[in-house]
Amino acid sequence: MITKAVAIPALAPDTRTRILDLAETLLLERGFNAFSYQHLARELGVKPAAIHYHFPSKDDLGTALVARQLRRLRKWRGLPRVTNLGPVQQLDALLAVYENHLGQDRRVCLFGALAADFRTLPAPMQAELRTFNRELTEWLAEVLAVGRATGTLRFVGSPAAKSAQVLTTLAGALQVARVHDETPFQVIVGQLRLELLP
Amino acid sequence: MITKAVAIPALAPDTRTRILDLAETLLLERGFNAFSYQHLARELGVKPAAIHYHFPSKDDLGTALVARQLRRLRKWRGLPRVTNLGPVQQLDALLAVYENHLGQDRRVCLFGALAADFRTLPAPMQAELRTFNRELTEWLAEVLAVGRATGTLRFVGSPAAKSAQVLTTLAGALQVARVHDETPFQVIVGQLRLELLP
DNA sequence: CTACTTACTTACTAATTAGTAAGTTTTTTT
DNA sequence: AAAAAAACTTACTAATTAGTAAGTAAGTAG
């Protein structure tokens, strides 16, 4: 027997997953350079060396974090409940993801959390983040293209340009929400909807 | 005699100014939690304690940085060469500021540099940044309102909402430029111009 | 039962961090 | 010229950082 992939009822996540989950929370709420292995260890009730066992260096941890997010994106965009939607509902599904971040203690998105400190990040992490952003932009561009072709979405310019603009605005809107409150996020998303939906 | 405010030909900036300038560069290029008093001291050719003399804590330095930027904004928007312009040219002047950041080694803007780590910042710094963003948004809202009233700018929704959206997009666009290259910034700003200018 | 692997803990190092206290040099004021 | 203030340096502390090496306990495989 090679592996045993039993369907566990999502009860107790293992330490590795708990590390990733907590690190993700801290990354999106405080920034990558604002938490240490000690912080993680203390809150998880283990010793710092236990984190080093799973992720030898913080670079490894960071890269694993972005890689996991990229896997999630690829899985999400391929889900039947997403691919089966029309362009407007796909856009709504995307906006729901950002609104969900807002609801979770005003977390910024992965991109918004890492962009400012980008030059201090390990190269593999940089590469994963570039891929993440590129694939998400391409996905939305296709949604927008179909939406305009079928008359359910309206915008001028190329779908690629509009996609980059919309995603950039969403990333920034979560940052503005962090600095002020939820209001400007709602205002900005309202403006996006107003312009895109005829 | 109280002070001696001689007009020096902008020759040798004093240490305090050199500290602020270097700290600003590092902040906008690497993030606030990514440089230390040692980094500053080494590059300036002084001892770390010299930085502490001018800015007792890093909180003080950070707050002084944002406060200076806020003073610059207030001065800039009141300059005759800015107030005398029409709305379209005022918008262009704003875009030129961001394009200038792009040209300076793809620096992000102050807001984009601090938003992700916002919760780790000292309270006075948070307050200054909120004021900075609020005043800039109000200024642009007025520009947009006049532009639409005089028929030189076009958009739907309230000037306040459009202003928040545009500024958020610009901050995000500099971050995207950092992660990829200058191209997406140009694409996004091109899209903004396309939509705003009839 | 034995060997091995997994998942840790204990105990440590070397570097870096912000910050302070006391002393020294330079500049300014009187 | 003397006094005082400004702008530092030297020398230090206490805390925190990432990371390592060695040991251990529990589970797994043969």
Residue A5 has pLDDT above 60, yes or no: no
Positive/negative CA dihedral, A96, A100, A103, A106: negative
pLDDT at B10: 57
CA of B36 to C1' of C17 (A): 8
B125: closest chain A residue by CA: A179
Residue B3 has pLDDT above 50, yes or no: no
**Tens-place pLDDT, residues A101-146:** 999 999 999 999 999 999 999 999 999 999 999 999 999 999 999 9
pLDDT at A11: 62
What integer is the mean pLDDT of A162-187?
Answer: 98
- Phi, psi (rounded to 5 degrees) for B8: -80, 140
Band of pLDDT at residue B46, cut at 50, 70 and 90: very high
Q: List CB-based contacts (under 7 A) with strand D.
A: A 36-39, 48-49, 52, 56-59; B 14-16, 46-50, 53-54
Q: Please give the Cα distance from B12 to A35 (Å, whole number).
A: 39
**Tens-place pLDDT, residues B100-121:** 999 999 999 999 999 999 999 9
Q: Judge whether B172 and B180 are in contact, CB under 8 Å.
A: no
- Tokens representing B27 are 């902040």
| Of the candidates A64, A197, A106, A118, the residue with the CA atom closest to the CA atom of residue B157 | A197
pLDDT at A198: 87
CA of B1 to C1' of C30 (A): 12
**Domain coordinates in residue numbering, chain A:** 15-196
Whether A135 has its CB under 8 Å from any CB of chain B: the answer is: no
**Tens-place pLDDT, residues A49-87:** 999 999 999 999 999 999 999 999 999 999 999 999 999
Question: CATH for A15-196?
Answer: 1.10.357.10
pLDDT at A135: 98
Q: Judge whether B111 and A179 are in contact, CB under 8 Å.
A: yes
CA of B37 to C1' of D11 (A): 17
Whether B101 has its CB under 8 Å from any CB of chain A: the answer is: no
What is the pTM for the complete model shown?
0.93
For testing contact with chain A, the best of B35, B70, B117 (most A CBs within 10 A): B117
The helix (H) or strand (E) run that includes residue A136 is helix A123-149
Judging contacts by C-beta atoms under 8 Å, the chain A residues touching residue B29 are 119
**Tens-place pLDDT, residues A149-159:** 999 999 999 99
